[in-house]
Amino acid sequence: MPTTLTNNPEETQALAATLATSLKGGDIILLYGDLGSGKTCFVQGLAKALGVTETVRSPSFTFVWEHRLPSLQCTMYHFDLYRLHYGDDLTPIGLSDVWGEPMTITVVEWADRLGEYMPEHFIQIDFEYLRDSKRKITIQKK
Ligand code: ADP
Ligand code: MG
């Protein structure tokens, strides 16, 4: 079921909860899509399904938020690269320090900013704004 149409934020979060059941330490999730297409909404659903109780918001000033995931005994790193530009040096952000490590789940909003700086294996999720509160969400394992 790679493509899903959701009709409201709750359906997007329910889809995220479904993905959450198959996640394991070391997984990397790259999120693509325009502003308002539902990336953060999806991450909120993912985090909730993984037992995060604190508020999940876009890490626009820090680039990254950390959330402990007691159920998986992992830490979720939620990056948002919106303020980066193509070709910017990504080293200071610390992505490569965490992603793929066995005790981490890494989620990246605005993953198009990564350019050539890509992990070997990842889950790609594309968000498309259709109209009103309809979104097209495509999940692919790469
Ligand atoms: P992004 O992180 O991609 O910029 P957000 O998740 O922050 O987008 O914002 C999506 C906005 O669209 C939220 O205000 C959310 O309530 C609204 N929305 C409406 N319908 C949906 C839907 N089907 N899925 C996700 N968000 C939706
Ligand atoms: Mg966002």
Q: Between 60 and 49, whose confidence is greater?
A: 49
Is the per-residue pLDDT at 1 higher than 70? no
Domain count, the chain: 1
- Domain around 66: 4-84+97-141
Does this model's pTM top 0.85? My answer is yes
Q: Whose CA is nearest to atom 27 of ligand 1?
A: 9
Q: What's the CA gap between 35 and 28, in Å, rounded? A: 21
Question: Would you state the pLDDT for residue 26?
Answer: 97
Question: Would you state the pLDDT for residue 63?
Answer: 87
Q: Whose CA is nearest to atom 23 of ligand 1?
A: 8
Q: Do 107 and 78 form a contact (C-beta atoms < 8 A)? A: yes
Mean pLDDT of the chain: 93
Task: Please tell me the distance between residue 105's alpha carbon and the centre of ligand 2 in angstroms.
Answer: 17
Q: Residue 135, SS3? A: strand
Residue 91 within any structural domain of the chain: no
Q: The domain spanning residue 124 has which CATH number?
A: 3.40.50.300
Residue ranges lining ligand 1, Cβ < 6 Å: 6-9, 11-12, 33, 35-41, 58, 109, 127, 133, 135
- The per-residue pLDDT for range 51-100, each reduced to its tens digit, is 999 988 887 666 899 999 988 899 999 999 998 887 788 888 889 899 99
Best CA proximity match to 27, nearest among 93, 125, 136: 125
